[in-house]
Structure 1
C-alpha cells in the first residue's frame, strides 16, 4: 500500500513501542506506515473538563482520539501500551516551566492524571509519499519544523493560546493534491490551515522554528502549514498548571489503529 524506503516504515506498532520502552529516542515521522500516531498530554483531573472543552472547541488543532481515565496509563488505541514508557520522549512541566525531558515518566505518574490523546500529522505523511509528494524533513533527516502563529484558539477557562502549525515545503504544483489528500483525514488535522506567506500567520523566520528543526526549501517549493497537536501542549503550558506531562514534539505514541483509503478516495480511521 505504501512505498517503504526506510526500515522504520515497516515496523509494527507494538515493536516500535517496545523499542521506545527500551530506551530508543527517535522522532516518529516515517515510522509504522498505515498506523495512526497521537500526541499525549496528561493533566490533573480537576483541569480535565476545561481542557477537553478547549480541545472540542478547536478540533482542527486538537482532534481528540481518546481521553484516558484518571490514573490509567493504557488506551484502547494501542493494545498493551504503557503511556508512561512507550513514547520516545516526554516533557515534564511545573507551573508552565519545563523541568525535565525524559524517556520514562512511570515514577512521576499520579492517580489523578487524565491523559488526552490527539491526532498527529505524521499519520498522513505516508499518503503524501505515496502520491509522490516529497517530505523534506525526512529527506534531510530532521524533525518536522513547528511554529507558534498569530492564529488564536477558542479559549476554555484558563486554557487558551495560539495555533501551533507544522510546515512541509513542496513544489507549488503539488500543493492542491496534498491539501486534497489530507482533507480526508480530519483525525490527523485535515487540510492545511495556510499556504504560502509565513508572515501572514505571524511566522517571522522559517529558519527559526519554535519546535523541531529548520528544513531547507528547494527551488520552487512553497511552505504548507497544517495545524499541529503541540497546540494543546502550548495551552497547558500557558495555563501554568502545577504539574503536567506531555510528549516531546515529534515523539509520538504509535497506536494500533490503521488508516484505509475507501473506494471514493476518502481516508478513514479503522477502529
Structure 2
C-alpha cells in the first residue's frame, strides 16, 4: 500500500483558503478523496437527503453535517467548509447568482452541508495503473455534459444526470471500467461509453461545464455520473438559496482513497 501524507491535503485546502489556489483540483493531493459540496438550508436538507439516497450513482453520500457547522471531523482536521474550496457557486431562487472564493459571509446557522463523492478520487488509481487521464495531461478542467438520463425523483427534487467524460483507446477504456468499479463512493463504474447521442449529448467539443479535451480517432468516450448533477437539480427545483463547489473545484479531504475502495 502506498503511504499518503495528510499534510498534502491540508496544504491544498490552505492554498484555497488564502486565495492562492483558484483553479480545478484534479491531480492535486493524489491519494486523497475529493468531494463535491451541496450546502442547503435545513428546510430543504431532508428532501435532498432522500434524493441522494434514491440516486447514489451521481450523489454518493460521504458525509452530512449538523446545521450551521463549517467543520466536519470525518472529512479532515483544520477544515473550513466555507473557505477551503477554490471556487464556490451561489444559487438564489434557482439561478446562479455568483461565484466566490470564500462564502463565510453568507454562512447561516441553518445551513447543512452534504459531501458527495467525486470522480477525481479515482483518477489517481487510473494513473497508477498506466491509464492516462486526458484533462490532467492537458491541464484542463474535466468536460461535463447534461444528458437525457432520468433521475429518480425524491424529496421534491428531480431532473436528468450530468456526466463527466474521459476518452481512452479500447484497451484502456476496459481497464478504466475495471478500476473505477472499485470506487462506488466516487461514482463507480461508468454509466455509458461510445455514442454520446444515445444519452442526449450533441457535441463533445462543447461541454456544458468544464473544458473540452482532445479526442483521437482511435479513442472511445467514456462517461461517469457526475457530482455536478445536484447543481442542475437545484436550479430545476428553484431552491431559494444554496451553495455548491464550482464544477471541477473540489474540497480535498484527509480521507485516503484506500478507505473508499472496494478490495
Q: Give yes or no for TM over 0.5.
A: yes
Q: In structure 1, what is the equivalent of residue 9 of structure 2? A: 13
User: Is the partner of 1:179 in helix, strand or coil?
Assistant: helix
Q: Quick check: 35-44 or 9-18, which moved more?
A: 9-18
Q: Confirm or deny that 1:59 pairs with 2:52.
A: no
Q: Does 1:216 align with 2:214?
A: yes
For the residue of structure 2 that corresponds to 1:166, the secondary structure is strand
Task: Summarize the alignment of residues 1-271 of structure 1 with structure 2, pairs less than 5 Å apart.
Answer: 12-23=8-19, 24-76=21-73, 77-260=75-258, 267-268=261-262
Distance 1:118 1:10 in 2: 20
Gaps of 5+ in 2: none
Q: Cα distance, 1:260 vs. partner?
A: 2.3
CA shift for structure 1 position 126: 0.8
* Structure 1 residue 176: Cα displacement: 1.3
State the shift of 1:11 in Å.
7.0
CA RMSD, aligned part only?
Answer: 1.9
Query: How far apart, in 2, do the equivalents of 1:183 and 1:268 lie?
Result: 8
Native 8 Å contact 1:151 1:162 kept in 2: yes
CA positional deviation for 1:87: 0.4
CA contact (8 A) 2:134 2:214 kept: yes
- 3-state DSSP class of the match of 1:260? helix
Is the deviation greater in 39-48 or in 131-140? 131-140
Aligned equivalents of 1:10, 1:142: Cα separation in 2: 25
Per-residue deviation, residues 99-153 of structure 1 (Å, max 9, x unmatched): 1100000000011111110000000001111111111111111100000100011
- Structure 1 runs (4+) greater than 2 angstroms displaced: 266-269
Secondary structure, aligned partner of 2:161: strand
Residues 233-265 of structure 1 deviation map (CA, whole Å, 9 limit, x = unaligned)? 21112111111111000000000000229xxxx
Residues 51 and 152 in structure 2, CA contact (< 8 A), matched pair in contact too: yes
Equivalent position SS for 1:15: helix
Which moved further from structure 2: 110-119 or 231-240? Answer: 231-240
Q: May I ask how many residue pairs the two structures share in their alignment? A: 260
CA shift at 1:54, angstroms?
A: 0.3
Asked if 2 retains the 8 angstrom alpha-carbon contact of 1:11 and 1:32, the reply is no
Which 5+ residue runs of structure 1 have no aligned equivalent?
3-8
